[in-house]
Structures are given as C-alpha cells and as structure tokens.
C-alpha cells in the first residue's frame, strides 16, 4: 500500500470507530421555536433515543446562544413551573420525545441573534458516555397549536358513495 492510501485507510477506520461509538445516542427531529423581536431566550425540542447503555445528558452548547440549559416544564394545577435540570438521565433503550408545552426541552439562554424560521444552527450535546453529539437544529414557526388539523380538513369531500 502506498503511504497516502495507508493514511486514508487509517482515517476511515478512525471515523468508523467514532461513528459507531456515537450511534448509541440517536437524535432526531431537532427543532427550535422561532423567536420574535428581542427575546433573550429560545427553546429547542428534539427526540433522543438511547440505543446503548444507561447514559446521562450533562450539558449542551451552541454558537447561537451564550448558554444552553436543560429545562423541564410541568403544570402544577394552572401554574406552569419551569426548572433547570443539572442533567437528564437516559436509561438504556429509553426515548425522550421533547414536545412544546410539556416536559423536558433545551433552553438557549442569551441568544446572539433572533432565531428566524428556516434558519439552522448547530447544537452540541454532551453525554457522559456517548461524549459530544453535534446536531443541526432547524428553526420553525411554532404556534402553540401544532398544525395537526390541516390534513384532516380535506378528507371530508372524498367520501364518494357507490350505491350500485
């Protein structure tokens, strides 16, 4: 083997080793809510699936904000309570689906600039075992009600009655 080839081969092995290691944590559907005007903080929601052993999300960072925190939101009667979590435990095989309006989400504290719909920004999540996992977060207009009803509207005129 020539030297450059050896080098490329070694690099591929390294990349493969890195990839298989990071695959224990799968992150999907990362979305941040578009912010309005001079809102200082933003929120991101994502799905985290732990395909490996028990792990813990320790922290996060993003060039989009000065600080990234893990928050949880719960309703206590009619009062919305937010609190920052030191860490987020992920048991083996557990899937956390962050949804606006309830439960855990990622807070982007001290935004460098407003989050505009259609933008993307990188977010690095730090796991105790899986290490750093970098993802790309898409910014979307998120009204409180998600657009679930849109598709259902058009179904009503398609019931053709075949009476033969």
In a domain, 54, yes or no: yes
Q: Is residue 107 part of a domain?
A: yes
Three-class SS of residue 39? coil
User: Is 158's pLDDT higher than 70?
Assistant: no
Residue 29 lies in a domain: yes
How many separate domains does the chain show? 1
DSSP assignment, residue 99?
Answer: B
Indicate whether 44 belongs to any domain: yes
How crowded is residue 44: how many other Cβ atoms within 10 Å of its Cβ? Answer: 25
Query: Would the pLDDT of 147 be above 60?
Result: no
- The pLDDT-based confidence of 68 (bands split at 50, 70, 90) is very high
CA distance 74 to 79: 8
Q: Quick one: pLDDT band at residue 43, thresholds 50, 70, 90?
A: very high
- Percent of the chain clearing pLDDT 70 (strictly above): 73
Average pLDDT score over residue span 148-160: 43
Range of the domain at 122: 23-141
What CATH number is given to the structural domain containing 83? 2.60.40.1890
Residue 2 belongs to some domain of the structure: no
**Does the pLDDT of residue 93 top 50, yes or no?**
yes
In-domain check, residue 18: no
pTM, rounded to two decimals = 0.72
Query: 12 lies in a domain?
Result: no
3-state secondary structure of 150: helix
Q: Is residue 94 part of a domain?
A: yes
């Amino acid at each position: 083997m020539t030297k450059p080839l050896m080098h490329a081969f070694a690099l591929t092995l390294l990349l493969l080793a890195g990839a298989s290691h990071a695959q224990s944590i799968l992150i999907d559907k990362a979305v941040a809510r578009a912010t309005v005007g001079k809102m200082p903080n933003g929120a991101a929601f994502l799905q985290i699936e732990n395909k490996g052993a028990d792990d813990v999300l320790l922290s996060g960072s993003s060039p989009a904000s000065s600080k990234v925190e893990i928050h949880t939101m719960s309703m206590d009667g009619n009062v919305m309570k937010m609190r920052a979590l030191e860490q987020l435990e992920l048991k083996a095989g557990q899937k956390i689906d962050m949804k606006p309006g309830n439960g855990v989400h990622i807070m982007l504290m001290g935004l460098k600039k407003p989050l505009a719909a259609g933008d993307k920004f990188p977010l690095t999540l730090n796991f105790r075992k899986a290490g750093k996992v970098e993802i790309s977060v898409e910014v979307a207009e998120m009204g409180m009600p998600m657009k679930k009803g849109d598709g259902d509207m058009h179904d009503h005129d398609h019931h053709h009655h075949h009476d033969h």
